[in-house]
């Protein structure tokens, strides 16, 4: 029983990790006032670059960073359009969603003999699990109950023996929250998202902050993609991301543009999927058609949303380009 | 190139949405074409499809390019090909994973694989090798092809040891690797130690789970041992390349089996277990498998391929 | 107690030219201000006052011209430079982040930090300290959306002072203030000059200039007209310099008997956005052929009252009758049909669809009826003819009915609304802040239009924060305070002190 | 006649508009970036474009294919453009398409009626179901303030799994196939579908090259409906009180509310109409082309591509028709360069992305144009 619960929690964490990264990206960009509907495209870019770098170098950390960097570069396009050239941010984001996968698959064909998938990442090239060896050591060296607590498939093992990305994601939530609400730059970011002109009159460089945020947004979306391609699985293929970016976008709005809110929304979604897996197994006490069960996460999200009273508070200047010489 | 002017036969294929280098049966199909090019002197080419709506126009494009034989790779192209064959009686077609039955027009060949046969063999291996008495099967979506894998596997396990329990779960997706990983981990948690998948991209998650939990996974379609050399026990292979090469050969020899359904099983060398199986499967067990193979070829064992045939066989 | 130091020119702007494309907003403007002086900047709407000040504050770059601060030539390339020169600016439209606290707004851009982290405790201390120093009391922890406009303005001033500003620019600081708040502001300005600060104030209100300013520079259509010593001039002289002609202040208005009861509000209770009662048992009657002025400080329930009257906000209890028909909690459409129209408070938010043409806006309430549409099909010709007619009648300055309203000036946008509402031929016309931000000419026009309605025997309810306006054109005046009417009087019996006191919550007969 | 004249002047007006100029320049830049990409990958871009051009216009049946491909995109594009006009972002056209297709397949198979009734009944049912699907998002937004972007993303997935569930029901699924039964011939919109495979039809087609070229494709009446619907959408937005209200709500809901327009009702109405349009895209796709629905392993992208179509078309009805044709031509032509050169078709996505990207930034184009013309001016001097 307890193990079942632990499994559901563990699966929730695994499933929601790529979403959390990506939704955090959305949080950062949108708090500075730039809509980022291009998360899906940025995530695809990150997933591809992560898998490719991991394949060629065998170094997951380098791959992870490269994924963030590549997606940030893609985000730079979005920043140029929406910050410098006052683009319609939704349109620019949609463009990113064509460009990201387009470029990623194009490059994939160049690097992998025409394939739209990468080769499997060699052993050791994927994200390590930081507690894995510790738990094994503990279970072998502690005696009695204490040892059993860390055994494979024990509650602790099921919940905590996760890819490093899971912990990085959770830390990132805290870090983004901290930056947004506890630091100078965070105050400025939020000011720019709410009232860019006010920030400008106080000598804050709106353009710089928005560039920074949009690129950070890309970086996190890239991390999200990499969390799929080098942690959950060990390769990239065309269909790997399929829709996760949009789910993260929804989670970000659902979480009312707050890092912790976005995280909970992603976890809700992850938990719903964990339940689908749990109830979908043969031994499950309830037997429902798999297709009906698959709808659960989406229906659940809709229901929860209607239950949330009041409208979500988007940053006031969200989607409005800031132009200096106008009233 | 110069070859364009040569008086060789031409053969082309339309891939399904996976693309030609999908490290799965589209790729295998293309390898079959390439072999036909090399050994039989065919001119070969392919067109990729990005969505279902591409099949028909791609087919037309290949017809326009003047090919002698056009392949559709995947059952989803079944109707498209039938229609094209009806409209163009002079054009020859063939399709993988689809059969038209008796009223097929005679310019069309359906190629079916007995996926249940290699699945039976890997099921037998799993049934023998499991230490926990539990194994798993992860399916993509509930398609007849996937059912053939599933029931062949079930029968194989039962043949090895009727007391071994098999967890069967479908992901209802061919793409969501994370779901595949979660299902597989769940199966391991429930005590399974070997999991077989027939689930496309979802299978990436299955193999990732095996790698992480250091348990066994069984690959599908091609030899997937490269994905996790220490954890992919064996694979149920489907030699689309051989099938295509064989039909091409028949075409060249003037025996194009138009109007027929070519069913390829162990006997025809179109399916089998992965050559790397000897890495992890003990030799004596492989010997048993070889025996079974012979029996299947001889018709002594008829492997079930659907729920009904499976129930009937028990 | 004047503290002007005539030896130092705190600000000197020479031959400033600022062009927006082909349009010259500032054409060779000169401005010189001594240290410790209150210098007023006067001009009609669009004269270029804000532009000039934005140039001084580094928000705009002048096309040509020179700026000297305390005698030194400065290149003010951005607000940071301006701040470094000791310039602070309170903008016409407040520059506050509504979701932030007072303290967060004040320190934004110059945040105190501790070990690299935001030090909000220090920020709050700092704010308390300067607010004590200059007598500008605020609650540092309150969110901006929770405080009054007057408070918000203090926050704006504190923002400048926190940055060590010696030269303060106040762009129309009194436009949104109550008489009491204006008095306080005047006091604050005196305090500041006593402490050696220099102030440049933009305002349309001549009375205020007379009251606080030492010198006044007048701008007309982007051109420098001159600088006058305020103590040696009169209000009407200033006015005629500003517009270039004589201005009549008094509105012509014939005596008129009021008719029968038209709008009856009975014990009305309405909640605000935060769910708190904003209108709390308010009763009021407006009769045919009168203008009832509703005076009151912003935020005492006026907005909620108007929204309830027009069907935009639910009534919790109480009744509203128009011509003895109950319109309580009816839809806006039903209320329109019952002949209550309104000129909304916020013209761009409520009154107009900015991306629609003038013609389309003219029929915003009437597009559903003949002849503008028939069975759901619009008749563009009729709409065009109708709006051409109104454009002419109301003297809307526009290229034509197909021009987008967003391209019109504020005054002309307001004319579109008034034309539309008046043409509805309502029995009751509720006009909320109808002249906010308009220049003298436009104000004259609006006032005439309202009086015309009254003379046509309509009931007009004028809700305004401008006491002068209320006193000028109302027949009766009601004062609203904390959601109830605290006094009603004939305009003849009203005076500024009396109303001002009631607006601040003091009873009629008690003096504090 | 009046309508015709107005339409004509509208079209002429459109070509004079700045927006169109920017769109054309964006398309040009898209091709430019596409050619750079191809060149970098070692393919001759001129050859590639020549192949694409002849692959699209070279034969009558190629043109027919482009039209077939563009038909659903016109409608999903219209759906999204319509929602844009009313201030809503309907990411859910994909799901509404799926629902429309599903219902069309079911009604086309189960209902027995003569063609003259069957077709309209099927279309009506499909449009209504999809309208409801879109309406859910509208209702959730109007009633609970749920952001339509989230609601429609969720509804897309629900639609997908719902289809997969329904298609696998015994009564619906073709035995042992992952598809539904084919619709009755009475519901088909394909031209001469029955006749063209009869002996007589074949014989006739053999002698009539042009007809044969077109009829070898599933050329169907969908395009006619799509164009008619584009005109209807244009007419609604331009000439009806409904359109006036919807646009007013989209542009400024506060003013609309003040003027007595029921904002909530109009949000729902807008989503109903938008959903109906996307649903009809699905219906025509089934009735005209596929004749059935299949189990979906992933979204097919008709709705998502519709977003790009709407954007390239400037969210105007006429613009959408042209941009859908461009989109269809690019996608169809893209497969030809793969066959001829082995060039990756992803270059098409890069081109489309580039076009949409530059459409987002008319300002940059303006600056580029100004520089360009200035330079020319200097050269002349
Ligand atoms: N950024 C801008 N771009 C183009 N024109 C501008 C810009 N800012 C101001 N203008 C124009 O310059 C003129 C002067 O504007 P400004 O805001 O300085 O007027 P003002 O004197 O402050 O008027 P008001 O009393 O209404 O505040 C106006 O006609 C205005 O439309
Ligand atoms: N954070 C976002 N990410 C993606 N798209 C967005 C986001 N916010 C808004 N949009 C899209 O942009 C459009 C404008 O959104 P906005 O929030 O202003 O509308 P709204 O929800 O009607 O406003 P309100 O919150 O005042 O009711 C919507 O159609 C929405 O789909
Ligand atoms: Mg101004
Ligand atoms: Mg001004």
In a domain, A258, yes or no: yes
Provide the mean pLDDT of chain C.
88
The atom number, within ligand 2, closest to the CA of A37 reads 4
Q: How far is CA D278 from the centre of its chain?
A: 8
Residues A40 and A139 placed together within one structural domain of the fold:
no
Q: What is the pLDDT of residue B1?
A: 34
The CATH number, out of the four listed (1.10.3470, 1.10.860, 3.10.450, 2.40.160), of the domain defined by the range D61-342: 1.10.3470
CATH class of C261-339+426-511: alpha beta
- Hey, are the CB atoms on A233 and B204 less than 8 Å from each other? yes
Please report the pLDDT score of residue A310 as a whole number: 47
Q: Do D345 and B60 touch (CB under 8 A)?
A: no
Strands C5-20 and C215-220: unpaired
Shared domain for A10 and A154, answered yes or no, is: no
Range in A68-72, A217-221, D308-312 the model is least confident about: D308-312
Which residues of chain B are within 8 Å of residue D300 when distances are taken between CB atoms? 51-53
Domain residue spans in chain C?
5-243, 261-339+426-511
Residues A135, A20 share a domain:
no
D257 touches chain C (CB under 8 A): yes
Specify the ligand 2 atom closest to the Cα of D91: 31
Residues C95-105: tens digit of each pLDDT: 899 999 999 99
Q: Which domain holds residue A184?
A: 2-123+168-305
| Burial of residue D59 (number of CB atoms within 10 Å: 0-12, 13-18, 19+) | middle
Burial A5-41 (b: 16+ CB within 10 A, else e): ebbbbbbbbbbbbbbbbbbbbbbbbbbbbbbbbbbbb
Tell me the average confidence (pLDDT) per consecutive run of 10 residues in chain D, 381 residues long.
50 60 91 94 92 89 91 97 92 96 96 92 97 96 87 93 92 86 89 75 77 78 93 95 94 92 94 97 93 87 93 92 95 86 88 94 84 63 42
Q: Is D37 on the interface with B (CB under 8 A)?
A: no
Residues of chain B contacting A, Cβ within 8 Å = 18-23, 27, 142, 167-170, 172-179, 181-183, 185-190, 201, 204-205, 207-208, 211-213, 226-230
The alpha carbon of C435 and the centre of ligand 4 are apart by a number of angstroms equal to 15
Strands (E), B210-260: 216-221, 232-238
**How far is C133 from C192, CA to CA, in rounded Å?**
10
Q: Is the pLDDT of residue B23 over 80?
A: no
- Please check whether residue D2 touches A, CB under 8 A: no
Q: Where are the domains of chain D?
A: 1-41+344-381, 61-342
Distances (CA, A) of D101 to C48, D104, D125, D163, D310: 60, 5, 10, 9, 21
**C353: number of CA atoms within 13 Å, CB side?**
29
- Chain segment D180-210, per-residue pLDDT in tens: 999 999 988 887 777 776 778 777 777 877 7
Q: Residues A50, A86: one domain?
A: yes
β-strand B134-139 against B165-170: which pairing, if any? parallel
Residue D239 forms contact with C (CB below 8 Å): yes
For B60, the closest of D61, D177, D178 (CB atoms) is: D61
For A38-65, the pLDDT digits (tens) are 999 999 999 999 999 999 999 999 999 9
Select the more confidently predicted residue: B104 or C338: C338
pLDDT 10s digits, C80-95: 999 999 999 998 778 8
Torsion sign, CA atoms D73, D75, D77, D79: negative
Regarding whether A193 and A110 lie in a shared domain, the answer is yes
**Average pLDDT for B170-197:** 92
Q: Report whether CATH 3.40.309.10 matches the domain C5-243.
A: no
From A89, A106, A292, residue closest to D165, measured CB to CB: A292
Predicted pLDDT of residue B65: 84
- Would you place residue C213 in the very low, low, confident or very high pLDDT band (cuts 50, 70, 90)? very high
Ligand 2 and A288: CB distance under 6 A:
no
Give D254's contacts in chain C (Cβ within 8 Å).
349-350
Q: Ligand 4: distance of its center to the CA of C204 in Å?
A: 10
Least confident stretch, A209-218, B242-251, C388-397, D332-341 = D332-341
Encode D281-303 in three state secondary structure: HHHHHHHHHHCCCECCCCCCCHH
Alpha helices in D216-316 (DSSP H): 222-239, 241-251, 253-258, 263-284, 302-312
Domain boundary among the residues A112, A138, A162 is at A162
pTM of the model: 0.87
Q: Evaluate whether A91 touches D360 at the Cβ level (below 8 Å).
A: yes
Prior bond of C371 cis (ω within 30°) = yes
Tell me, in angstroms, the distance from the centre of ligand 3 to residue C53's CA.
11
Contact D336 B51 (CB under 8 A): no
Q: Is A325 in Cβ contact with C97 (below 8 Å)?
A: no
Q: Which chains form contacts with chain C, at 3 or more CB pairs under 8 Å?
A: A, D
**Are residues B201 and A237 in contact, defined by beta-carbon separation less than 8 angstroms?**
yes
Q: Which atom of ligand 2 is nearest to the CA of D141?
A: 21
Could you give the CA distance from residue D117 to residue D113 in angstroms, rounded to a whole number?
Answer: 6
Residue by residue, DSSP assigns B128-170 as HH-SSSEEEEEESS--HHHHHHHHHHHHHHHHH-TT-EEEEEE
Q: Check: CB of residue D319 under 8 Å from CB of residue A43.
A: no
Shared domain check, A135 and A11:
no
Strand partners, C464: C295
Count of the separate structural domains present in chain A: 2
Q: What is the pLDDT of residue D381?
A: 42
In this structure, the answer to whether residues A73 and A173 fall within a common structural domain is yes
Distance from the D113 Cα atom to the nearest Cα atom in chain A, whole angstroms:
32
What was the pLDDT predicted at C511? 36
pLDDT for B264-287, tens place per residue?
999 988 899 999 999 999 999 999
Residue C416's nearest CA partner among D259, D240, D237 is D259
What's the pLDDT score for residue D228?
A: 96
Which chain B residue has the Cα nearest residue A108?
B21
Largest alpha-carbon pair distance within chain B? Answer: 63
Question: Any chain D CB within 8 A of the CB of C370?
Answer: no
- Helix, coil or strand: residue B171: coil
Q: Which of A153, A235, A281 sits opposite B169 (nearest CB)?
A: A281
Q: Which of C313, C353, C430 to mutate to test the interface with D (most CBs of D within 10 A)?
A: C353
For residue C286, the distance in angstroms to the closest alpha carbon of chain D comes to: 22
Are B79 and D179 an interchain contact pair (Cβ–Cβ within 8 Å)? yes
Residues from chain D contacting residue C355 (CB–CB below 8 Å): 251-252
Tokens of B292: 């079974």
Helices A244-254 and A2-31: crossing angle in degrees, nearest 10, is 80
Kindly tell me if the per-residue pLDDT of C402 is higher than 60: yes
Q: How many other C-beta atoms are found inside a 10 Å radius of the C-beta of residue D261?
A: 24
Ligand 2 pocket test: which of D80, D87, D89, D154 has the largest number of ligand atoms within 8 Å of its C-beta? Answer: D89
Q: What is C71-104 written as a DSSP string?
A: TEEE---SHHHHHHTTEEEE-SS----TTSBHHH
Residue nearest to atom 29 of ligand 1 (CA): C46
Alpha carbon of C442 to ligand 3 centroid (Å): 15
One domain, residues A141 and A261: no
Task: Strand C459-464: give its sheet, edge to edge.
Answer: C340-343, C428-432, C459-464, C290-295, C476-481, C484-490
Q: Give the model's pLDDT for residue C510.
A: 42
**In a shared domain, residues A91 and A199:** yes
Residue D338 corresponds to which tokens in the numbers above? 């793969």
* Residue D342 Cα distances to A171, B21, B29, D337, angstroms: 45, 13, 17, 7
Q: Is the dihedral of CA B102, B104, B107, B109 positive or negative?
A: negative
**Domains C5-243 and C261-339+426-511 alike in fold:** yes
CATH at residue A283:
1.10.3470
What is the interface pTM, i.e. ipTM, of the complex? 0.85
- Among the residue ranges A83-97, A247-261, C478-492, D15-29, the one predicted with the least confidence is D15-29
The alpha carbon of C19 and the centre of ligand 4 are apart by a number of angstroms equal to 16
Rounded CA-CA distance C355/C406 in Å is 6
pLDDT digits (tens, 9 = 90+) for C240-259: 887 776 655 566 677 777 78
d(CA A265, CA A301): 8
Q: Do C109 and A195 touch (CB under 8 A)?
A: no
Question: Is A144 or C432 the better-scoring residue by pLDDT?
Answer: C432
Chain C and chain A touch, per 3+ beta carbon pairs within 8 A: yes
Q: Give the pLDDT score at D376.
A: 59
How close A198 comes to chain C (CA, Å)?
4
Residue D15: per-residue pLDDT? 47
Contacts of A325 in chain C (CB under 8 A): 20, 60
Which residues of chain D have a CB within 8 Å of the CB of A298?
154-155, 157-158, 161
User: So what's the pLDDT on residue D200?
Assistant: 80
In a domain, A24, yes or no: yes
Give the residue whose CA is nearest to atom 11 of ligand 2. D89
Judged on CB neighbours under 10 Å (0-12, 13-18, 19+), D362 is buried
Longest Cα–Cα distance of chain D, Å, equals 79
């Amino acid at each position: 029983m307890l193990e079942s619960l632990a499994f559901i929690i563990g699966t929730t964490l695994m499933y929601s990790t790529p979403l959390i990264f990506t939704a955090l990206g959305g949080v950062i960009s949108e708090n500075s006032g730039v809509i980022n509907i291009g998360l899906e495209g940025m995530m695809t870019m990150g997933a591809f670059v992560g898998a490719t770098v991991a394949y060629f170098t065998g170094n997951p950390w380098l791959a992870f960073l490269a994924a963030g960097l590549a997606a940030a570069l893609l985000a730079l396009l979005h920043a140029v359009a929406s910050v410098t050239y006052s683009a319609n941010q939704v349109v620019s984001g949609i463009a990113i969603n064509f460009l990201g996968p387009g470029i990623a698959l194009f490059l994939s064909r160049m690097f992998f003999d025409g394939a739209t998938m990468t080769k499997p990442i060699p052993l050791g090239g994927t994200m390590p699990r930081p507690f894995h060896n510790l738990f094994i050591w503990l279970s072998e060296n502690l005696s009695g109950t204490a040892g059993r607590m860390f055994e494979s498939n024990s509650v602790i093992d099921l919940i905590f023996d996760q890819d490093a990305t899971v912990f990085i994601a959770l830390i990132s939530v805290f870090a983004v929250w901290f930056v947004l609400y506890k630091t100078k730059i965070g105050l400025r970011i939020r000011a720019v998202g709410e009232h860019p002109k006010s920030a400008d009159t106080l000598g804050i460089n709106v353009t710089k902050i928005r560039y920074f945020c949009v690129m950070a947004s890309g970086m996190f979306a890239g991390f999200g993609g990499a969390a799929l391609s080098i942690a959950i699985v060990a390769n990239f293929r065309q269909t790997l991301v399929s829709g996760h970016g949009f789910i993260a976008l929804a989670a970000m709005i659902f979480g009312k543009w707050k890092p912790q809110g976005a995280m909970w929304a992603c976890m809700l979604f992850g938990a719903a999927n964990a339940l689908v897996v749990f109830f979908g197994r043969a031994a499950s006490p309830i037997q429902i058609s798999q297709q009906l069960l698959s709808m659960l996460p989406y229906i659940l999200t809709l229901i929860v949303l209607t239950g949330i009273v009041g409208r979500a508070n988007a940053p006031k200047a969200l989607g409005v380009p800031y132009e200096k010489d106008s009233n | 190139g110069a070859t364009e002017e040569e008086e060789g036969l031409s053969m082309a294929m339309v891939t399904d949405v996976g693309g030609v280098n999908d490290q799965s049966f589209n790729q295998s199909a293309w390898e079959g074409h390439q072999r036909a090019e090399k050994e039989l002197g065919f001119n070969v080419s392919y067109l990729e499809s990005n969505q279902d709506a591409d099949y028909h126009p791609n087919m037309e494009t290949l017809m326009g390019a003047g090919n002698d034989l056009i392949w559709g790779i995947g059952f989803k192209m079944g109707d498209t090909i039938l229609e094209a064959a009806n409209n163009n009686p002079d054009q020859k077609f063939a399709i993988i994973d689809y059969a038209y039955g008796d009223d097929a027009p005679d310019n069309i060949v359906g190629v079916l694989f007995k996926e249940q046969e290699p699945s039976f063999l890997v099921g037998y291996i799993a049934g023998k090798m499991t230490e926990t008495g539990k194994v798993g099967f992860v399916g993509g979506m509930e398609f007849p092809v996937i059912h053939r894998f599933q029931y062949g596997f079930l029968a194989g396990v039962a043949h090895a040891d009727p007391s071994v329990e098999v967890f069967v779960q479908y992901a209802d997706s061919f793409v969501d690797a994370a779901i595949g990983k979660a299902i597989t981990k769940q199966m391991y948690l429930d005590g399974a130690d070997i999991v077989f998948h027939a689930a496309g991209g979802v299978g990436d998650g299955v193999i990732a789970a095996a790698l992480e939990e250091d348990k066994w996974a069984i690959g599908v379609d091609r030899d997937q041992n490269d994905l996790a050399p220490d954890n992919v026990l064996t694979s149920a292979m489907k030699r689309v390349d051989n099938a295509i090469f064989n039909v091409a050969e028949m075409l060249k020899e003037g025996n194009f089996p138009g109007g027929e359904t070519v069913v390829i099983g162990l006997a025809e060398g179109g399916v089998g277990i992965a050559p790397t199986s000897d890495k992890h499967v003990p030799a004596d067990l492989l010997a048993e498998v070889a025996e079974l193979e012979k029996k299947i070829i001889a018709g002594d064992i008829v492997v079930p391929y659907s729920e009904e045939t499976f129930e009937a066989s028990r | 107690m004047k503290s002007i130091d005539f030896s130092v020119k705190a600000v000197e702007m020479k031959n400033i030219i600022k062009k927006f494309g082909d349009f010259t907003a500032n054409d060779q403007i000169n401005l010189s201000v001594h240290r410790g002086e209150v210098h007023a900047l006067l001009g009609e709407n669009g004269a270029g006052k804000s532009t000039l000040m934005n140039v001084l504050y580094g928000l705009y770059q002048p096309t040509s011209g020179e700026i000297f601060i305390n005698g030194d030539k400065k290149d003010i390339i951005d607000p940071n430079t301006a701040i470094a020169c000791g310039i602070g600016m309170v903008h016409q439209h407040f520059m506050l982040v509504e979701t932030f606290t007072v303290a967060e707004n004040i320190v934004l851009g110059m945040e105190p930090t501790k070990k690299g982290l935001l030090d909000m405790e220090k920020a709050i201390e700092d704010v308390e300290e300067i607010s004590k120093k200059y007598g500008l009391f605020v609650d540092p922890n309150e969110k901006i959306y929770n405080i009054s406009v007057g408070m918000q303005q203090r926050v704006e001033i504190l923002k400048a002072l926190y940055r060590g500003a010696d030269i303060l620019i106040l762009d129309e600081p009194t436009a949104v203030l109550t008489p009491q708040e204006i008095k306080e502001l005047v006091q604050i300005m005196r305090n500041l000059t006593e402490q050696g600060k220099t102030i440049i104030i933009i305002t349309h209100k001549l009375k205020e200039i007379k009251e606080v300013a030492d010198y006044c520079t007048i701008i007309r259509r982007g051109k420098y007209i001159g600088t006058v010593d305020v103590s040696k001039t009169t209000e009407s002289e200033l006015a005629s310099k500003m517009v270039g002609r004589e201005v009549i202040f008094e509105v012509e208005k014939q005596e008129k008997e009021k008719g029968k009861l038209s709008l009856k509000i009975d014990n009305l209770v309405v909640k605000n956005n935060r769910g708190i009662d904003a209108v709390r048992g308010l009763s009021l009657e407006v009769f045919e052929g009168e203008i009832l002025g509703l005076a009151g400080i912003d935020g005492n329930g006026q907005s909620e009252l108007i929204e309830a009257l027009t069907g935009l906000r639910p009534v919790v209890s109480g009744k509203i009758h128009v011509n003895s028909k109950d319109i309580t909690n009816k839809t806006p459409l039903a209320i329109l049909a019952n002949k209550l129209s309104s000129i909304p408070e916020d013209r761009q938010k409520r009154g107009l669809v900015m991306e629609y043409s003038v013609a389309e806006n003219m029929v915003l309430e009437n597009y559903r009826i003949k002849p503008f549409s028939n069975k759901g099909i619009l008749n563009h010709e009729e709409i065009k003819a109708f709006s051409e007619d109104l454009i002419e009648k109301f003297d809307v300055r526009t290229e034509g009915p197909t021009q987008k309203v967003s391209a019109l000036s504020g005054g002309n946008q307001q004319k579109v609304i008034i034309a539309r509402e008046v043409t509805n031929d309502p029995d009751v016309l509720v006009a909320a802040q109808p002249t906010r931000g308009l220049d003298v000419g436009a104000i004259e026009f609006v006032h005439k239009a309202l009086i015309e309605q009254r003379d046509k025997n309509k009931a007009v309810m004028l809700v305004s924060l401008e006491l002068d306006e209320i006193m000028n054109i109302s027949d009766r005046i009601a004062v609203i305070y904390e959601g109830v009417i605290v006094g009603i009087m004939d305009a003849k019996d009203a005076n500024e002190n009396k109303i001002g006191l009631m607006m601040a919550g003091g009873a009629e007969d008690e003096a504090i | 006649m009046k309508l015709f004249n107005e339409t004509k002047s509208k079209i002429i007006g459109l070509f004079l508009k700045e927006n169109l100029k920017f769109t054309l320049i964006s398309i040009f830049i898209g091709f430019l970036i596409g050619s750079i990409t191809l060149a970098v990958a070692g393919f001759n871009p001129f050859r590639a474009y020549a192949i694409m051009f002849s692959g699209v216009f070279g034969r009558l049946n190629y043109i027919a294919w482009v039209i077939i491909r563009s038909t659903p995109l016109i409608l999903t594009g219209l759906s999204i453009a319509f929602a844009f006009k009313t201030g809503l972002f309907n990411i859910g056209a994909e799901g509404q398409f799926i629902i429309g297709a599903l219902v069309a397949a079911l009604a086309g198979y189960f209902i027995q009626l003569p063609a003259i009734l069957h077709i309209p009944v099927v279309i009506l049912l499909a449009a209504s179901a999809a309208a409801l699907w879109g309406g859910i998002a509208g209702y959730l937004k109007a009633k609970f303030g749920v952001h339509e972007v989230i609601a429609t993303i969720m509804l897309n997935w629900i639609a997908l799994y719902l289809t997969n569930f329904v298609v696998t029901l015994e009564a619906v699924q073709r035995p042992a196939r992952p598809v539904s039964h084919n619709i009755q011939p009475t519901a088909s919109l394909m031209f001469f579908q029955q006749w063209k495979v009869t002996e007589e039809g074949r014989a006739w087609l053999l002698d009539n090259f042009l007809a044969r070229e077109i009829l070898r494709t599933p050329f169907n009446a969908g395009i006619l409906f799509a164009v008619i619907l584009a005109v209807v959408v244009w007419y609604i937005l331009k000439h009806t009180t409904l359109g006036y209200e919807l646009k007013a709500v989209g542009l400024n809901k506060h003013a609309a509310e003040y003027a007595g327009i029921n904002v909530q009702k109009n949000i729902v109405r807008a989503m109903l109409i938008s959903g109906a349009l996307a649903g009809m895209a699905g219906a025509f796709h089934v009735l005209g082309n596929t004749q059935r629905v299949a189990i979906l392993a992933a979204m097919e992208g008709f709705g998502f591509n519709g977003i790009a179509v709407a954007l390239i078309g400037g969210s105007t009805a006429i613009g959408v028709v042209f941009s859908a044709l461009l989109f269809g031509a690019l996608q169809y032509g893209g497969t030809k360069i793969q066959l001829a050169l082995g060039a990756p078709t992803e270059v098409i996505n890069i081109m489309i992305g580039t076009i949409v990207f530059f459409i987002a930034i008319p300002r940059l184009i303006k600056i580029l144009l100004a520089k360009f013309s200035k330079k020319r001016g200097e050269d002349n001097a």
